[in-house]
């Protein structure tokens, strides 16, 4: 094995070890995370940290989540092969890519048009054809595509948004961080039953806030020549 291959194999082994030691034990989730190269979703100076178990900055002042948190959230969501999943908060697209290997179709939305555009390019490059992404305010969900088997929110709201609860199928699961944006939040799992919703608290987490409305900050407008 040549040196670069060896480096890659070692990095991948360390990456998977970090996931397991943080409690990611579901074989399907580990397999998906082994197959999706996080390096494809991190740009510029942070690219070399792509295989470290830490959140990293992406464009528009947002972050790509820590891999072990992605693993734990995916595991809690327990996506099934025939499921249609909604992700709120596309960000880099990494989480959506993992989900795309585990279910039939993934809808993912972000309020930053630029992030959606860049994530779409990566999905295309990796041949992930079952991800449909939109620039939209995800706090309202996607009424036209609802209901969903699973909903994953990767930005923190103070409470589970009503429209998302309403767009969950009976028997469906939603995983989301809740709490004030400047404090430690709690990751919760909501299961919709015939008669209502069951809530389970999973662990403390820290996410960027779920912000209402589309973002207008597309960065500085390029100047003409």
What residues line the site for ligand SAH (CB under 6 A)?
62-65, 88-89, 91-92, 94-95, 109-112, 115, 137-139, 154-155, 208, 210-212
As to burial, measured by CB atoms within 10 angstroms (0-12 exposed, 13-18 middle, 19+ buried), residue 188 is buried
148-153 vs 168-178, strand pairing mode: parallel
**Catalytically annotated residue among 2, 65, 68, 100:** 65
Q: Is 65 an active-site residue? A: yes
Tokens of 39: 């390096």
Nearer to ligand SAH, 84 or 95 (CB): 95
Q: What is the CA radius of gyration of the chain?
A: 17
- Rounded to the nearest 10°, the torsion over CA 109, 115, 120, 123 is -90
Least Å from the CB of residue 2 to ligand SAH: 31
Nearer to ligand SAH, 124 or 193 (CB): 124
Q: Are 177 and 153 in contact (CB under 8 A)?
A: yes
d(CA 172, CA 74): 14
Least Å from the CB of residue 154 to ligand SAH: 4
Nearer to ligand SAH, 91 or 172 (CB): 91
- Rounded to the nearest 10°, the torsion over CA 23, 110, 57, 119 is 90
- Beta strands (DSSP E) in the chain are 56-57, 63-64, 84-88, 105-110, 131-135, 148-153, 168-178, 185-192, 197-205
Q: Are 49 and 15 in contact (CB under 8 A)?
A: no
Least Å from the CB of residue 141 to ligand SAH: 10
Nearer to ligand SAH, 84 or 133 (CB): 133
CB atoms within 10 A of CB 223: 5
Least Å from the CB of residue 103 to ligand SAH: 15
Nearer to ligand SAH, 65 or 84 (CB): 65
DSSP summary character for residue 139: G
Least Å from the CB of residue 64 to ligand SAH: 4
- Would you please indicate which residues are annotated as catalytic (active-site) residues? 65
């Amino acid at each position: 094995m040549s040196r670069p291959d060896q480096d890659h194999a070692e990095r991948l082994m360390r990456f998977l070890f970090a996931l397991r030691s943080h409690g990611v034990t579901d074989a399907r989730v580990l397999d998906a995370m082994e197959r999706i190269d996080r390096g494809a979703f991190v740009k510029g100076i942070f690219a070399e940290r792509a295989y470290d178990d830490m959140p990293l900055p992406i464009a528009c002042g947002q972050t790509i989540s820590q891999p072990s948190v992605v693993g734990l959230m995916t595991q809690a969501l327990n996506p099934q092969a025939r499921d249609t999943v909604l992700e709120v908060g596309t960000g880099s697209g990494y989480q959506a890519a993992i989900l795309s290997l585990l279910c039939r179709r993934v809808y993912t939305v972000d309020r930053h048009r630029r992030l959606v555009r860049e994530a779409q390019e990566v999905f295309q490059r990796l041949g992930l054809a079952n991800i449909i992404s939109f620039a939209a305010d995800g706090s309202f969900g996607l009424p036209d595509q609802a209901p969903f088997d699973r909903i994953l929110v990767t930005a923190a709201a103070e409470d589970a948004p009503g429209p998302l609860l309403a767009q969950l199928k009976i028997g469906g699961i939603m995983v989301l961080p809740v709490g004030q944006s400047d404090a430690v939040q709690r990751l919760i799992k909501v299961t919709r039953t015939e008669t209502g919703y069951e809530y389970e608290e999973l662990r403390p987490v820290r996410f960027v806030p779920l912000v209402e409305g589309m973002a207008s900050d597309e960065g500085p407008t390029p100047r003409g020549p």
